[in-house]
Amino acid sequence: MVFIKKHFLYLPNGDIDIESWLNTIRAHFDLERIDRIQKATDFALHYSKGLTLFYGQTYVEQGLEMAEILLELKLDQDAVAAAIISSTLQATEVPHDTLTHQLGESITQLALNALQLNSLNHIHKTHNQTQIDRLRKTFLAMVSDIRVVIIKLAERTCVIRGIKNINLDERNRIAQETLDIFAPLANRLGIWQLKWELEDTAFRYTQPDTYKMIASFLAERRSDREKRIHDVITQLNQAFTQSHIQATIYGRAKHIYSIYLKAKRKHLHYQAIFDYSAIRVLVPSITDCYTVLSIVHSLFDHIPAEFDDYISKPKANGYRSIHTAVINDRGQHFEIQIRTHDMHEKAEHGMAAHWIYKEKKLQPLDYEAKITLLRQLLSWHKDPSLQESPLDHSIEEVLKDRVYAFTPAGEIIDLPLGATPLDFAYHVHTQLGHTCRGAKINGNIVSLTYHLRTGDQVEILSMQNGTPSRDWLDKTCRYLKTSRARSKVLHWFKQQEIAQYIESGKNQLERELAKCGLTHISFEKIAARFHCKNDEALFAAIGHGNLRLGQIIHTFSSTHKSETPAKTPAVNPLAKTYPVDQSIKIAGIHDLLTRIAKCCKPIPGDALIGYITQGRGVSIHRQDCSNIINRYSSEDNRFVNVNWDGNQAGQYYVDLQIQGLGQALLKDIPVLLTHLNIDLIRLNSTLNKNNHRLYIALTIQIHEKDQLKLLLSEMNRLPDIISVHRPNE
């Protein structure tokens, strides 16, 4: 295919002779009506007259050149008209109503969709393969109409043709971008003519010396090579007809860039490439493939080293075909590929597709589905007899699964449909997500629940000391779509809880060790004794309640006695007369019944006194119990000294008297007891309406005194608590 390029006539004043151009394309492309093209041309002339692109061409000229390319590709007049005005819309701002009024909704939407893809321009600043792949996917995901992609490919063809004289660095950047993005896209869509021109022209800019070397080696014009291929096809057709072989034959002259890639891939010199002229033969059956191979080898001398039978031994990706390189009677080399129609279909649209082989990687199946449907849509748009596409529902389904948004630096972030700016922030960096407080989309501030769209440029607004909100985890608020972002928020809150446990556990342990005179014991020693990784793990275990302070104190007090004498209770009339006799213990009293007094309910750690009752054994009281103090007499021989034995585990009831403000305490206290794993036995409350004070009498069940100390400490932190104490203290 040869494009008519810049087939313009100019008026004496330098303007393009639009009437002459319209007559030319009407005749060349056999168009009955060109009213939509004419309206688009008039529009472009009116709104962009005199404006030029960065490489010197006017916007009107670029629009008309793009129109010629699309007409050669047999696209409809709506697409051609949209291409003409899309250049103009880059340089001017025209209201949407004006566009639709003058050109209609279909042309307007195509042009605006093409304009939207300009957000991809000049963001390819690296050869990072991941970014290139994302950019290619973004290009496809941003369109719902294949014609928009072809308009952009036509635009890039015009640009690559026109940048010969611009700044060298900028020219090389555009050329490399063309090789990385636009030429592979043309290849994927099967638009070989644009692919070849984009690749060869861009290659000439990026590697001019290599380009000239290969061009010189070919030593003939492409049109001459194509004529030679035509002659070979004619010769093959005659031979196949005589052998009653029904074959479809077509050929191509391999272009310069593809020869360069093959030589590079196979580590060969260009003169060792035998398939720079290639012919493909399609036949009904595998038997026909080998019959055709026999005929080809009878007509031409073949090169054994260049023969590959991928039918008997398919490639790993499933590709099947016979490749043979031959020499004609004039010593010219060319390659012939032989395959069935089914093999060809699978090679073009299946996992072994030509474009997958060329780019040396496999794409996810959903992405291949997009490419297959886009290729089929391309064929649909070429056929004006089809009024509607049977693939509309499918194309919509496969194109709407992901969104591709940009960072301010141009990096593409691939996210699932429904993702929010918070998902975007956490995808970029965890800390950016934690400190996120807002977002700008394309320069406009949006809420954090905004659903990102492909092509959005996202700027995250953060606060230096910002932290996540628990609302982000509430699915009904819809702040987060991705499990990745949600897990990072959950991890942050878990770490905060651990920090609180560590601080609480350390404070508790320090206080208890100081109280028991065990200050010379290191935290590391305690951690090792209880199999904790380090001191922070020890503190966390204490703060979380997994390790009890009583266990620690009991373990170390048996080997590290405190040198500080035990403090005597403030009210203890028995201390002088009845010093603690270590030989008498509760468990060591034989032949006597013992019971814990209900009036004061002593627990391990309390100083004790025993009272021998009549018929009910020994009643065990706290030494500060008011009943004992009131009854005590030095002559009374019914009092005995008792003490706790080493085994203090058990169940103990404790009475508490609480004074506070407001009835909210009736909810807070049970919640606190549940949190500390303490059983509530009884609760009575009275509200004084005069001073609004609440009086609570509480009975709980504990296992050791440390539980009670922790409970009293936590209760005193409640905002409405005035006092908490055990009765008779």
What single string gives the DSSP state of each residue in 322-359?
A: EEEEEE-TTS-EEEEEEEEHHHHHHHHHSTT-HHHHHH
**Which of 362, 384, 409 finishes a domain?**
362
CA-wise closest residue to 161 among 2, 4, 5 = 5
The answer to whether position 666 is within a domain reads yes
Q: What are 354-387's pLDDT values in tens digits?
A: 555 555 555 555 555 555 655 555 555 555 444 4
- Decide if pLDDT at 579 tops 90: no
Same-domain status, 124 and 179: yes
Distance CA 9, CA 52 (A): 18
- What is the CATH number for 333? 3.30.460.10
Contacts of 678 (CB under 8 A, 6+ apart): 700, 701, 702, 707, 711
* pLDDT tier at 186, thresholds 50, 70, 90: confident
* pLDDT number for residue 86: 92
- Decide if pLDDT at 657 tops 70: yes
Burial track 63-87 (b if 16+ CB lie within 10 A, e otherwise): bbbbbbbbbbbebbbbbbbbbbbbb
Share of the chain above pLDDT 90, in %: 27
Contacts of 201 (CB under 8 A, 6+ apart): 160, 161, 175, 178
Same-domain status, 183 and 43: yes
Contact present, 603 and 702 (Cβ < 8 Å): yes
* pLDDT number for residue 397: 52
* pLDDT number for residue 374: 56
Distances from the Cα of 381 to the Cαs of 71, 186, 191, 336, 396, in angstroms?
12, 16, 13, 31, 16
CA-wise closest residue to 356 among 475, 188, 104 = 188
- Decide if pLDDT at 294 tops 90: yes
* pLDDT number for residue 284: 95
Beta-bridge partners for 322: 309, 338
* pLDDT number for residue 576: 35
Same-domain status, 226 and 245: yes
* pLDDT number for residue 273: 64
Q: What are 408-424's pLDDT values in tens digits?
A: 876 778 888 899 999 99
Q: What are 97-125's pLDDT values in tens digits?
A: 999 999 999 999 899 888 877 766 545 45
Q: How many CB atoms lie within 10 A of CB 524?
A: 12
CA-wise closest residue to 701 among 648, 663, 655, 639 = 655
Contact present, 370 and 398 (Cβ < 8 Å): yes
The answer to whether position 373 is within a domain reads no
The answer to whether position 216 is within a domain reads no
Task: Evaluate the CA torsion angle 541, 544, 547, 548 in order and state its sign.
Answer: positive
Tell if the pTM clears 0.85, that is, is over it.
no
- Decide if pLDDT at 11 tops 90: no
Query: Between these two residues, 149 and 15, which has the higher pLDDT value?
Result: 149
The answer to whether position 547 is within a domain reads yes
Share of the chain above pLDDT 70, in %: 77
* pLDDT number for residue 104: 93
The answer to whether position 115 is within a domain reads yes
The answer to whether position 160 is within a domain reads yes
DSSP 180: I
- Decide if pLDDT at 452 tops 80: yes
- Decide if pLDDT at 208 tops 80: yes
* pLDDT tier at 39, thresholds 50, 70, 90: very high
Same-domain status, 451 and 524: no
- Decide if pLDDT at 627 tops 60: yes
- Decide if pLDDT at 641 tops 60: yes
Beta-bridge partners for 492: none
Same-domain status, 477 and 496: no
* pLDDT number for residue 351: 46
The answer to whether position 289 is within a domain reads yes
Contact present, 115 and 86 (Cβ < 8 Å): yes
Mean per-residue pLDDT over the chain, rounded: 79
Same-domain status, 47 and 172: yes
Same-domain status, 236 and 192: no
**Which of 640, 662, 687 finishes a domain?**
640
Same-domain status, 193 and 72: yes
The answer to whether position 501 is within a domain reads yes
Same-domain status, 58 and 146: yes
- What is the CATH number for 476? 3.10.20.30
* pLDDT number for residue 507: 84
* pLDDT number for residue 572: 42
Crossing angle of helices 18-28 and 59-72, in 10° steps, is 10
Highest mean pLDDT among 71-75, 242-246, 513-517: 242-246
Distance CA 427, CA 195 (A): 34
| 123, amino acid identity | I
Distance CA 471, CA 469 (A): 5
| The two structure tokens encoding residue 213 | 């070397």
Range of weakest confidence among 244-248, 316-320, 539-543: 316-320
- What is the CATH number for 676? 3.30.70.260
Highest mean pLDDT among 433-437, 506-510, 582-586: 433-437
* pLDDT number for residue 132: 64
Highest mean pLDDT among 182-186, 221-225, 568-572: 182-186
- Decide if pLDDT at 5 tops 90: no
CA-wise closest residue to 9 among 25, 27, 24, 21 = 21
**Which of 136, 171, 206 finishes a domain?**
206
Task: Evaluate the CA torsion angle 94, 97, 102, 104 in order and state its sign.
Answer: positive
Range of weakest confidence among 83-92, 464-473, 567-576: 567-576
Same-domain status, 35 and 88: yes
Distance CA 533, CA 521 (A): 17
Range of weakest confidence among 73-87, 259-273, 561-575, 636-650: 561-575
Provide the domain limits for residue 160. Answer: 18-206
Surface-to-core class of residue 14, CB atoms within 10 Å of its CB (0-12 exposed, 13-18 middle, 19+ buried) = exposed
* pLDDT number for residue 505: 84
Same-domain status, 517 and 437: no
HSE value, Cβ hemisphere, 13 Å, CA-based, for 684? 5
Contact present, 214 and 261 (Cβ < 8 Å): no
Cα–chain-centroid distance for residue 418? 12
* pLDDT number for residue 571: 42
Bridge-based pairing of strands 333-340 and 277-283 is parallel
- Decide if pLDDT at 540 tops 80: yes
Query: Between these two residues, 182 and 353, which has the higher pLDDT value?
Result: 182
Range of weakest confidence among 31-45, 138-152, 264-278: 264-278
Same-domain status, 541 and 578: no
Distance CA 131, CA 32 (A): 45
* pLDDT number for residue 382: 52
Distance CA 572, CA 350 (A): 94
* pLDDT tier at 645, thresholds 50, 70, 90: low
Contact present, 543 and 502 (Cβ < 8 Å): yes
| 412, amino acid identity | I
Radius of gyration (Cα) for the chain, nearest Å?
Answer: 44
- Decide if pLDDT at 467 tops 60: yes
Looking at the 3D structure of the chain, how many domains does it have?
A: 6
